Structure 1
């Protein structure tokens, strides 16, 4: 009986800074290209929103993971941080100068969510609508 090989999940660990979103966008674009996904525009926008939120509202290093799910090979992005606060797409406030990113992201992806980590912190994830190959 042979053990099935599990593919390595592309992972990027970043220290929080104003350069973090750019590094995450570049990482996603490189992996989408590797997977043959030509249109990475939505992916770059989503990873930028999630990483920016982790940088501004989270704690500790930020971990970005990318993989293709078992349901049709859709790309999934996960962003981990040690902060306990959970992101919420709040009600629309036309006078606000920020707070629209999660609402916009939710419109662009198939689904997204948050799950706690056993060791503390959280993972915010998003599954894209299709693998645009």
Structure 2
């Protein structure tokens, strides 16, 4: 793939799945994103896990997860569809609350994220962009 071009988007239908599918989602993302270095792949895996988990916990289950990759500048775009119209929020979790950190993690690791309503479905798409370039992407980078 020449610089500046995008790979075709990859998608996985998650209808009817349950939370244990998160392991398969992470494996799928790792196998699919072969051109993303390990430093940034960890961020991508964390973001995709949080978006899919959020759909399980708050969105009546995920319907589909999609990713695409752009080499220059290096960027992974992640989208998760669900059936719930409620938009996720970034909240400051308390010390005694077990959850509530997912979208905070997404906000910290992604260069951008947002929500698109899916007219006629009653659901939404939550998306995030994770950068995968910079000096830390090179194993022999000088600091």
- 8 Å CA contact 2:7–2:70 kept in 1: the answer is no
SS of the residue 1:41 aligns to: helix
**Pair 1:90–1:68, CA change in 2 (3 A):** same
**Pair 1:70–1:62, CA change in 2 (3 A):** same
> By how many angstroms is 1:7 displaced?
5.8
- 8 Å CA contact 1:42–1:108 kept in 2: the answer is yes
CA distance in 1 between counterparts of 2:76 and 2:107 reads 15
Q: Give unmatched runs, 5+ long, in structure 1.
A: 1-5
Which segments of structure 1 move beyond 3 Å, counting only runs of 4 or more?
none
CA distance in 2 between counterparts of 1:100 and 1:60 reads 18
CA distance in 1 between counterparts of 2:90 and 2:78 reads 18
SS of the residue 1:113 aligns to: strand
State the match for 1:37 in structure 2: 36
Q: Does 1:103 align with 2:104?
A: yes
Bigger Cα displacement from structure 2, 69-78 vs 18-27: 69-78
TM-score when normalising by structure 1:
0.82
State the match for 1:3 in structure 2: none
- How many residues align? The count is 126
CA distance in 1 between counterparts of 2:94 and 2:48 reads 23
CA distance in 2 between counterparts of 1:30 and 1:50 reads 19
- Cα-to-partner distance string for 1:85-109 (whole Å, 9 max, x where unaligned): 2110113322211101211221111
TM-score when normalising by structure 2:
0.77
- Cα-to-partner distance string for 1:103-133 (whole Å, 9 max, x where unaligned): 1221111111111112321111110123447
**Pair 1:103–1:7, CA change in 2 (3 A):** closer
